[in-house]
Amino acid sequence: MVKLIKVVNRDQCIGCLSCVFACARTWEHVVSPDMACLTVRRYPGTEGAFSIRVCYGCTDPDCAHACPTRALTPRDGGGVIFDSAKCIHCEDAPCVEACISKSLPWNEKEKEPFVCTHCGICANFCPNDVLVLVEAGV
């Protein structure tokens, strides 16, 4: 069964960045909040909250439509599959631009998108049940 990562309790986020560090640690083998498949928009302190931007698992993804080389293709159950060999590292990153929720981060080093595989490691390291891995379609 295909799984999808979902933000289920956005308002329980404390902004610790544990999820993004976990993603970067696991997949990119780096210690960085900027090298992950998701971001936490911080409106920190006494006047705001946090917003977690992770792949929404679209079934007809805008990012895939925007990709000129089909490096991004729809994944069964939602989200996209990324074929790095087909990516031509567009200067203007149309895939990132197409994702209006800003849930597709850009890898400045490789000049390609960070594509979420919906592995669930971010949810494993979330202390407040903000993120969960669910079965697609449920």
Question: Which spans of this chain sit near another protein (rule: CB under 8 A)?
Answer: 14-18, 21, 24-25, 29-35, 39-42, 44-47, 49, 108, 125, 127-128
DSSP strand pairing (112-113 vs 3-7):
unpaired
DSSP 75: P
Which structure tokens are listed for 73?
């293709």
Task: Determine whether 66 is exposed, middle or buried from the number of CB atoms within 10 Å of its CB (0-12, 13-18, 19+).
Answer: middle
Report the nearest approach of another protein to the CB of residue 16 (Å).
Answer: 4
- Integer Cα distance of 40 and 18 in angstroms: 10
- Report the residue number, 86 or 102, with the smaller CB distance to another protein: 102
Nearer to another protein, 11 or 76 (CB): 11
CB of 95 to another protein, least distance (A): 19
- Residue (16 or 98) nearer to another protein, CB: 16
In angstroms, how far is CA 130 from the centroid of its own chain? 14
Please say which residue, 18 or 78, places its beta carbon nearer to another protein.
18
Distance CA 38, CA 119 (A): 12
CB of 126 to another protein, least distance (A): 8
Compute the least distance from the CB of residue 120 to another protein, in Å: 15
**Of 29 and 76, CB closest to another protein:** 29
Let me know if 35 is exposed, middle or buried by CB neighbors in 10 A (0-12, 13-18, 19+).
buried
Report in angstroms how near the CB of residue 99 gets to another protein at its nearest. 15
